[in-house]
Amino acid sequence: MNKQQYHIKVEVKTTYVQEQSEPENNRFVFAYTITITNTGQVPAQLLSRHWVITDANNKVQEVRGEGVVGEQPYLTPGDSFRYTSAAMLETPVGCMQGNYQMIADDGVEFDAEIPVFNLSTPHTIH
């Protein structure tokens, strides 16, 4: 399998959602906006996702499901899909990582890695 043919770039921006968080109840809500870009040579569709969410106490949540935000975007080479979702932690700092399961037009299934990214309330990590 030619890696150049099947390549998805994943970019992430995170925001602390203060109005939905309740620090006194160990509830910290973070929004994340993800841009998925097909930088490969073959059109591909996102089938499902797998997230590993870890808080500062090393509590791990795993999330698996079909698509993202109710969609299974189809990306031709050069196309991007952007969505925003959220995660809740019991600590003011944590991280997320995972992958998207993709299928290319030629039937090849491959994973698009979501690199680890940090979730932190303002002024906790600089």
- Sheet containing 8-16: order of strands: 8-16, 28-38, 80-89
C-alpha to C-alpha distance for 38 and 107, rounded to whole angstroms: 16
Mind listing the pLDDT tens digit for each residue in 93-104?
A: 999 999 999 999
Q: What is the CATH number of domain 8-120?
A: 2.60.40.1470
Convert the pLDDT of each residue in 13-27 to its tens digit: 999 999 999 999 999
Domains of the chain by residue range: 8-120
> Measured between alpha carbons, how far is 50 from 54 in angstroms, rounded to an integer?
13
- Give the pLDDT band (50/70/90) at residue 126: very low
Least confident of 1-10, 22-31, 68-77, 82-91: 1-10
pTM for the predicted model, two decimal places: 0.91
What would the mean pLDDT of 1-6 be, rounded to a whole number?
Answer: 73
N residues, the chain = 126
